[in-house]
Structures are given as C-alpha cells and as structure tokens.
Copies of this chain bind each other. A is one copy, B any other.
Amino acid sequence: METPRLIALLHGPDQPGLVARVAGWIFERGGNILHADQHRDREAGVFFQRVEWEPAAEKNRPGIAQLAAAEAEFVGFARGQLGMEVRVLASIERPKVAVFVSKADHCFHDLVLRWKAGDFAGELAAVVSNHPDLGDAARGYGLPFHHVPVTAATKPQGEAAQLALLAGLGVQLVVLARYMQVLSADFLAKLGVPVINIHHSFLPAFAGGKPYHQAHARGVKLIGATAHYATQDLDEGPIIHQDVVQVTHRHGVDELIRKGRDLERTVLAQAVRWHLEGRVLVYGNKTVVFD
C-alpha cells in the first residue's frame, strides 16, 4: 500500500532561501520529499512552489491524525515564518466532486469512465442536472443523480437547492461538464469551492450563439477548447488547460462539432485530474500548473 503523502501549494513574496527553508523544515521532521517544483515570476517578484513529501511516521505509516497534525504544522510554518499563502492536501483524502450536466453527454461519459479507470484522485459524489435526460445513464453507472430544474424564473430557488445539496454532501469541487446554465455570482460566492468549466475556443473568438456555425462561416483553420475556473465573468476565469485541432473547409459544421466534443472531453479531464492532484495553483487571474 502506498505511503500517505502531503502536497503543499505555496505562493508569496520571493526571498532568498525559500527552497532551502521549506526542504529543511520537512527534512528536520523526518519527512522525505518526493517532488518539489518551484517557479519564480521575476517581474512580479512572486515565488510559487509545489512540494510533495512523505511525512515521518511512528510506525510504518502515519495515521490520519498524524497527517492532519503535520498538515496544520506546515501551514503554520508557511504562513507564520515564510509569509506565504498555502494550501495542503493529503494523498489519502478523496475530495468529493459533483459533476453538473445538461443534455450533452460526451464530457459526462468520458469523466465517469475515467473515474472508473481510476484516473482521478477524488470521489464522484453526485451528478446534478437541470434536465432529467442523463438520469438513466447516471443510475446505470451506479451514480446518484439529482435533477434540479432551473429556469430564468426559478434560478434563485434552483441555485439554493443546489447549494444545499452540495453542502450536505461536503462537495469540494464542482465540474461543469457542458452544463448550459450560467452560475450566478451569488451562487459562486456562497459555494466557496472551485468550479471547473469547459468551453470551446476559436481564433478569432465569436460572440453569440451557434459558435461552430459561426466558425464554419468564417472559415477558421483551428478549433479549440479551454478549461478554466469559473468566476463571475463567464468564460474569463483562470485558464487551466487549452488545446486545439486543425480543421479545413472539408470539415462541415457536424465535423467541427464532433472534433470540438473530442477536444472538450480530453481538455476537461486533464484539468480535473490536475486539480485533484494538487497541481494547479491559482494566482490572481492566472494559474501555475505543476504538471
């Protein structure tokens, strides 16, 4: 069985000796650093680090209480002595994740199958939808499906129901897998946990509906997908991952949509995996991804 690990994501004002002090602190307490990746934004004067280590254990493996204590102690050190912002995960924790869907099912199936293949360091706790369409598929996978209708008129009630559901489950991450409703700023503020969204991207960008039809009409040569954290500014939050494919005039709108679906699946899955492995550090409106 794998030894439990702690993963810390730190960032704050750069200063000499940070790498040595973090490594020294862990080493002095008998911990063994497995990975340490750091980055300096020299223009902004900011230091970023992801460090992953096995803390010391009295017996073979540290228990949960020991891990929690080590976690708290490290947070105190990083904040108090280094003046850094810090987030710590334990590898044996399996954060609960809710997947929001509407009717499109390509990202939904892809995420669920990857979950079953063991790709994600978390637990798929709920599938939430504003439509009943994917209920059978979710239940077929043995997943709890929650139908929460949301219309323009019922949005406040719908969001309140969603918030109550997520809070009750202790969800720590929401994934919008082609969920076709805009989340209100109020919802995001009350939710208090990260939300990952996926959307298509084009060069140039297109406003308005039917973006693939617009892209086809404009003769674009690339279509793309972007996974990002949702913020109040729709489709404008910190970017986690992006990818594109080349297309030609030979590809009709249907083919563009199909290629877009394939991209959305892989880009969203990669972003969710990185997030759950503690590889994504958010800083202002950007991310540092320690892949």
Q: Which of B32, B239, B258 contacts A220 (CB 8 A)?
A: B239
Q: Which of A89-120 contact B (CB under 8 A)?
A: 106, 109, 113, 117, 119
Q: Are B224's CB and A242's CB within 8 A?
A: no
Does A217 sit at the interface, judged by CB under 8 A?
Answer: yes
Q: In the complex, what distance in Å separates the CA atom of A262 from the CA atom of B27?
A: 38
Question: Is the Cβ of A249 less than 8 Å from the Cβ of B23?
Answer: no
Partner of A249, one of B24, B250, B289: B289
* Minimum distance in angstroms from A280 CB to a CB of chain B: 11
Query: Which of these, B24, B28, B253, B286, contacts A219 with CB under 8 Å?
Result: B286
This chain: how many copies in the complex? Answer: 4
CB-contacts of A5-42 with B (<8 A): 16-21, 23-24, 26-28, 32-42
Q: With A201-B203, A288-B219 given, is the CB distance from A19 to B36 under 8 Å?
A: yes
Chain A, 210-222, contact with B by CB distance < 8 Å: what is the 0/1 string?
0000000111111
* A34 with B40: CB separation less than 8 A: yes
User: Are B35 and A38 closer than 8 Å at their CB atoms?
Assistant: yes
9 closest A-B pairs by beta carbon, nearest first, are: A219-B286, A20-B27, A20-B23, A16-B32, A221-B242, A249-B288, A19-B23, A17-B27, A19-B33
